[in-house]
Each structure stands twice: as structure tokens, then as C-alpha cells.
Amino acid sequence: MARTLTNDEISDLTVAERIDLIETLWDSIDPNQLSLPESHRRALDEALADYRRAPDEGRSWDDVRNDLFPRR
């Protein structure tokens, strides 16, 4: 079994080491073991149905991203 790091030990890590630790933790999660709340499933189903009804009415990710994060 892996050793558990204390908060102090984590704080002593460099930013790069903490990012590596986060990536390792994230990669260890099996997405098939995550549950999706029913409300989220309904919202996704509705969005997909809307897209299928009118695929040309949406906006590209580039447009949305530029609205959310305008370049300085």
C-alpha cells in the first residue's frame, strides 16, 4: 500500500511536483466507476437532442472560449 503524504509534506513539494501528484491521482481514477447524477444525464440528453434537431444553431468552442476568455 502506498504511503500517505501529510499536508506538510505536500506543502514542501515544488509546484511541479504537486502538479505531477495531481496528474497521478487523476490518471488513477477509472471513469467507469464515477456516477453521473440523473439531473446531469437529463441535461446532456436534452443538449444532444437539441443539437440533433438543429446542428447548425450551436456555437463553436472557439467562439465560446473567446467570449469567456478574451485575449488581452
Q: Is there a contact between 58 and 51 (Cβ–Cβ < 8 Å)?
A: yes
Cα separation values, 64 from 25, 59, 68, Å: 30, 7, 6
Average pLDDT over residues 28-56: 94
Average pLDDT over residues 21-41: 94
pLDDT of the residue at 44: 96
Cα separation values, 42 from 37, 55, 60, Å: 9, 19, 22
Residue 18's SS3 state is: helix
DSSP state of 55: T
The reported pTM is 0.49
Average pLDDT over residues 31-59: 94
DSSP state of 36: -
The answer on pLDDT for 58 being more than 90 is no
